[in-house]
Homo-oligomer: A and B are copies of this chain.
Amino acid sequence: MVIGLLGFGTVGKGVYQVLSERSDVEFKYVVSLEKVELEGVKYTTDVQEILNDPEVDTVIELIGGLHPAFEFVSGALKAKKNVVTANKHMISEYYAELVKLARENGVCLRYSAAVGGGVPWLISLERAHRISRIYSLRGVMNGTTNFILDAMQERGASFEAALTEAQSLGFAEANPSADIDGLDASRKTTISSNVAFGVVVDGHEVDTFGIRSIRECDIKAASSHGRVCKLMGKGVRCGEKDEIAAWTEPCFLPANAPEAGVHEGNNLLSFDARFVGKESFFGPGAGGPQTGYAVAQDCLDVCNFHPGEYNREMRAVRLQNHLVLQSYYVRLQDSDSWLAERTEEVWESGVKTKPIPVSEMHAFARKMLAQGREIFFACIE
């Protein structure tokens, strides 16, 4: 295969390292803001040059962000080039458009690196889905927030100290919003649900709450009830009409839950399916080498004519998060009648609710935040 590589940061270097020694792979172009010198590889800043070159059969997109990544990838698909990308933001946002383009042009679109780092998560979902019926998926999907929660729980760090540590170790970005507000995990939940259930989820419908407002008292509340707090993404089939719910939120998990034992930047992803039951996949979350490895695996699948069944089905669904009931721990800075009506137990720093719909809990939290009131909540499993 002849590759045009867009982006040469940590992941780009990783992909190049993994693939450059293979005889069946040729890197013809590399695009990067900074000049890159690689033997036998043409450096350019003009993506169009790559798209115009009929020798290039595959474009690897590692620029990240929505734009111009989306335009580059669309252009590549229209030019009938396979696309491999690690860009979860773009894939979760433009899933339907990009899958359609890939299909219309008879090329592959693969994005295994978008969820789970080097863990073979999406391909395992794809393989299960082709033969079985996946009932649900769940997981610790974001390494940064897991690192922060782990530091708070295991070492008694404050949220601020844990975040600063994660940033200094390169886990968290200078602007940590995508991680701590749950956006990254939410995008992974969206993509996983699309692949697992054969649907197109509107990522904006995935109810999402992060850990920005978690405090030591919340960790203590979890702990004194024998639980550990993790940020979880979840997707389930529900209702009588084969509907889908998908959301991302902190969860207080029993200490013996598999996810409770996931430390530092690791991920644990699980699905439950007909015939096989529950299967779980554990490994380091996204890091340069892991993401590079996942991108390289996609390239070999493209190269070996494994045509990326990721884009098989396109049933657009509206999420039905009101069909799933859960009990929540809620800490609100003041009192509220909605919450009082749903309170089942009063805990030290917050309350435990009766089982309530996921969508209602999230809507309430959004309302409180819009009013400038501090709130933290977590599903109690």
Interface-located stretch among A127-135, A157-165, A211-219, A350-358: A127-135
Chain copies in complex: 2
Closest-CB distance, A98 to chain B (whole angstroms)? 23
Least CB distance, A278 to chain B, in whole angstroms: 7
Residue of chain B at shortest CB distance from A293: B275
Residues of B within 8 A of A117 (CB): 276
Which B residues touch A131, using CB under 8 A? 18, 293, 296-297, 300
Contact A127 B120 (CB under 8 A): yes
Q: How far is the CB of A285 from chain B (nearest CB, A)?
A: 11
For residue A124, CB closer than 8 A to chain B, the reply is: yes
How far is the CB of A21 from the nearest CB of chain B, in Å? 11
Q: Is A367 an interface residue (CB 8 A)?
A: no
A277 CB-CB contact with B under 8 Å: yes
Further 19 A-B residue pairs, CB within 8 A, beyond A14-B275, A277-B284: A18-B275, A117-B276, A118-B277, A119-B279, A120-B120, A127-B297, A130-B300, A131-B297, A131-B300, A256-B261, A270-B282, A275-B290, A276-B289, A278-B284, A279-B283, A280-B281, A280-B282, A282-B282, A305-B305
State the A residues within 8 Å of B (CB): 14, 18, 117-120, 123-124, 127, 130-132, 256, 258, 261, 270, 275-284, 289-290, 292-293, 296-297, 300, 304-306
* Shortest 4 CB-CB contacts between residues of A and residues of B: A118-B276, A279-B283, A280-B282, A275-B293
